[in-house]
Structure 1
Amino acid sequence: MFLQPVSHRGSFNVPIQITMQSARRRRTREAISSISVKEKKKENNDAKGGDKSKAQAPVSSAGEDRAILLGVGMMGFSILMYFVLGITLIKPFMMSIFSEKSNCTVMRADILEDWIECSFMCGVDCRGQAKYPCLQVFVNLSHTRRKVLLHYNDEAIQLNPKCFYIPKCLRDRNELLSEAEKIKRSLHHSNGSVFPCYYNPEKKPEDAIMFRKYDTTMVFHCLFWPTLMLIGGALIVGMVKLTQHLSQMCAEFSAAQEETQALTPSSEDSMESRPRRLDKILRWRPKQMQHAPLS
């Protein structure tokens, strides 16, 4: 009689359950360890991020500070120039009454017998008295066809409305007289020639001036150079601020790239792929053991 072979399939259940339980324990351990690793990395990243945020605070160098100081100084000095030049030059130009331009022709130039008194400085606390000759010049104004009294500029007409110019007060009378005679001869030589002059038909119809003390060229220079300095200072400050802003943006961009690389490491992928491999091994092993021949 032949004995029937005893099936030993049931005896393999115990080791299979043990291996499955051990695999589950490994999974839980690995999950717990991966969670703890992620938390540690997050804490480290937060700490690094705090340090980076502190490091990313805009710290200006000594050169940038000097450039900003130079730009602010240029702007402040230009504003001061506007204030000073506006009071001393531009305001008299705007208040000048001789604004109408015309053509004048010399008719007569005479030196008056009555000299004008003046004072001169002979030392620190010394002042002397002298006299200077008064030169009168009459011209024909082309616009009004009238005979008017000519003055050198608008300052001369304010100091002495009778004379053509105001010479420097000197003690030597002969020197003053020779200077007046020289100007008189030059005007007589130009007798009949037309030259530009300025007048005011409403307030000063009987007077005219040869030159304006404050003209448009002077006003242009008074406004151009302070404006150029103001624009230059503003450009220096703006360029420094723009450079600091761009450097801060570059630092923030590099810090963001480092954080993204730190949050996606290759070790996490390998740790997550381990339970899948164990599942494949456990699924394959019972099938092989079930179909294995008995010895």
Structure 2
Amino acid sequence: MFMQPVAHRQSFSVPIRITLQCRRRCQMREAFTAAASKNIKKDASDGGKGNDKNKQSASSNAGEDRAMLLGFFMMGFSVLMYFLLGITILKPFMLSIWSETSNCTLIRADIMDEWVDCYFTCGVNCRGQSKYPCLQVFVNLSQYRQKALLHYNEEAIQINPKCFYIPRCQRDRSELLSTALSIKKSFDHNNSTPFSCYYNPDSKPEDVILVKKYDGWIAFHCLFWPTMMLLGGAAIVGMVKLTQHLSQLCEEYAVVQKEPTQKVTSETKDPDNLSMKHDKIIRWRQNLRTMHHTPLP
């Protein structure tokens, strides 16, 4: 009489256990899938950040390499400019004997009757001969109060020490004569006005020059611009080295600051997760026990 309900109750125990097991498996699958999706998203985000960081570091390294190459190129080119300008301009300027300046006053300017021979080129294998007028300009040197022959520059004295200047040789002699006459007219127009000239103080000043081929202003530019290029290249290299050093210090500081925070988070998060998991397991077991032992109505 009392066994029939028991038998009736035991007939439903197998389906109840099956449904509980199915629920448990579904909950475990959902938990695993959610955790896996979170991990995948986290890895993807971390990978994206890592790729962005790698791209930024690669681009910064390429820019730094280009800046370093530019700095070294500027420094090397400045040294080459020092070498070339020193040989072609600075050396003649330093070795020039026309170092003293004085005032000169025109005495007379004449064109000599005897013209000077010169040669010109008219092609690859063509060479012609012509003549140009020799203009002589005599001046009074105020420093020594004596007569001196005026020349245009140092090259004119070396080529022809009797004439004021050496024109470019050409076939048309009338054009050469008109050029000499215009220069003579300009000297005659400023006959009484003194002008500056250069002479050699180591010898008797029989010859003076009107202009120097390389003066102090040209020498200044020959030294100034290569120096600025050298300093600019050195500044670029120094700034790149400084930025690299500062970035390395920042990375080391970030690593030092990140290590204690990671330790603290790992110590704080892991025990909580474990305790929460244990609590869920204990609650699930208690629910199973109560469902197995509770009688059905």
TM over 0.5: yes
Q: CA deviation at 1:266?
A: 7.4
Distance, in Å, in 1 between the alignment partners of 2:226 and 2:184 is 41
- Checking the alignment, whether the CA contact within 8 Å between 2:99 and 2:200 is kept in structure 1 is yes
1:169 lines up with 2:193 in the alignment: no
Pick closer, same or farther for the CA change 1:265–1:150 going to 2, 3 Å: same
- 4+ runs deviating over 4 angstroms: 262-266
Q: CA deviation at 1:182?
A: 1.2
Match of 2:71 in 1: 71
Match of 1:100 in 2: 100
Q: Which has the higher contact order (CA 8 A, sep 6+)?
A: 1
Q: Secondary structure at the match of 1:191?
A: coil
1:80 lines up with 2:100 in the alignment: no
Distance, in Å, in 1 between the alignment partners of 2:251 and 2:132 is 78
The letter of the residue matching 2:215 is D
Match of 2:29 in 1: none
Q: CA deviation at 1:263?
A: 5.3
Distance, in Å, in 2 between the alignment partners of 1:160 and 1:199 is 17
Q: How does 1:244-255 map to 2 (within 5 A)?
A: 244-255=244-255
Identity over aligned residues, as a percent?
A: 65
Q: CA deviation at 1:204?
A: 5.2
Q: How does 1:132-211 map to 2 (within 5 A)?
A: 132-203=132-203, 205-211=205-211
The letter of the residue matching 1:88 is T
1:123 lines up with 2:123 in the alignment: yes
Distance, in Å, in 2 between the alignment partners of 1:258 and 1:130 is 89
Match of 1:290 in 2: none
Q: How does 1:209-224 map to 2 (within 5 A)?
A: 209-224=209-224
Pick closer, same or farther for the CA change 1:204–1:72 going to 2, 3 Å: farther
Between Structure 1 and Structure 2, the one with more helix by share is: 2
- Checking the alignment, whether the CA contact within 8 Å between 2:89 and 2:219 is kept in structure 1 is yes
Pick closer, same or farther for the CA change 1:81–1:119 going to 2, 3 Å: same
Q: Which residues of structure 1 form unaligned runs of 5+? A: 1-54, 272-295
Distance, in Å, in 1 between the alignment partners of 2:84 and 2:202 is 31
Distance, in Å, in 2 between the alignment partners of 1:200 and 1:252 is 68
The letter of the residue matching 2:113 is E
Distance, in Å, in 2 between the alignment partners of 1:81 and 1:201 is 32
Q: CA deviation at 1:259?
A: 2.8
The letter of the residue matching 2:104 is C
Pick closer, same or farther for the CA change 1:99–1:118 going to 2, 3 Å: same
Q: What TM-score results when the alignment is normalised by the length of structure 2?
A: 0.68
Match of 2:112 in 1: 112
Pick closer, same or farther for the CA change 1:204–1:211 going to 2, 3 Å: farther
- Checking the alignment, whether the CA contact within 8 Å between 2:100 and 2:200 is kept in structure 1 is yes
Distance, in Å, in 2 between the alignment partners of 1:161 and 1:199 is 14
Q: What TM-score results when the alignment is normalised by the length of structure 1?
A: 0.68
Q: CA deviation at 1:203?
A: 3.0
Pick closer, same or farther for the CA change 1:132–1:188 going to 2, 3 Å: same
Q: Secondary structure at the match of 2:208?
A: strand
Distance, in Å, in 1 between the alignment partners of 2:184 and 2:159 is 20
Match of 1:259 in 2: 259
Q: Secondary structure at the match of 1:107?
A: strand
Match of 1:227 in 2: 227
Distance, in Å, in 2 between the alignment partners of 1:265 and 1:93 is 75
Provide the aligned length of Structure 1 versus Structure 2.
214
CA RMSD in angstroms comes to: 2.0
Distance, in Å, in 1 between the alignment partners of 2:265 and 2:132 is 100
Give CA deviations for 1:82-110 in whole Å, capped at 9, x if unaligned.
11111111111111111000000000111
Q: CA deviation at 1:227?
A: 1.0
Distance, in Å, in 1 between the alignment partners of 2:206 and 2:225 is 38
Q: CA deviation at 1:262?
A: 4.5
Q: CA deviation at 1:209?
A: 0.5
Range that drifts further, 135-144 or 222-231:
222-231
Pick closer, same or farther for the CA change 1:243–1:204 going to 2, 3 Å: farther
The letter of the residue matching 2:253 is F
Give CA deviations for 1:109-130 in whole Å, capped at 9, x if unaligned.
1111221111101001211111
Q: Which residues of structure 2 form unaligned runs of 5+? A: 1-53, 272-297
